[in-house]
Amino acid sequence: MKKIKRAVGLLGALTLFCALLVGVQSTAANADVFCLNQTGGIKSSANNLYVSVELASDARLQARSATYGDWEHLQICWQDAAHTYIDIIGNVHAVSAELSMNEPDYGMLRARAATPGSWERFHCQPLSGGEVAFWSEASGYYVSAELSRGGLLRARATSIGPWERFTITNASVRNTFCGIV
């Protein structure tokens, strides 16, 4: 068992090292933030739809698209081992958990921050079956795709249920940032 755990740990370190060699870049806005040179969609496991950024309105994130297109280009980045954030390709904004809004929009995810700060920090937690959950450091809640509101993403759940499960469709991004090997 010890040998298996060690092998898994070494494989994870090797995956990160290879990603660093071939595909990691520092963002212009913050030299301490790194992103893989690969994009990928995030799908809600609850409705099997891609997370879209509503670029034509208020830049909210919603799990609403059956296909991967321009509004679904998301890039997962990290500031350090514990702080992951979601960057929007083409919009060049980091995703924020809106903590200044009142219910029912408290914790709504929107692509609006020029540089990642405390409202843009999410922890990516690996789950079974290659799924992940995102936990907002600022709100202290898990991100949910609220199916009763068109798949609107909000940091509002105290535990992980069906609405808090997601899949990062690019396996190398998922494995590097969420520790799935």
Per-residue pLDDT band for 84 (boundaries 50, 70, 90) equals low
pTM of the model: 0.76
For the chain, what is the HEC assignment? Answer: CHHHHHHHHHHHHHHHHHHHHHCEEECCCCCCCEEECCCECEEECCCCCEEEECCCCCCEEEEEECCCCHHHCEEEEEEECCEEEEEECCCCEEEEEECCCCCCCCCEEEEEECCCCHHHCEEEEECHHHCEEEEECCCCCEEEEEHHHCCEEEEEECCCCHHHCEEECCHHHHHHHHCCC
pLDDT digit string, tens, across residues 122-166 = 888 889 888 999 999 889 999 999 999 999 999 999 999 999 999
173 or 89, which is more confident:
173
Give whichever of 10-14, 145-149, 171-175 has the largest mean pLDDT.
145-149
Domains in the chain, CATH or no CATH each: 2-178 (2.80.10.50)
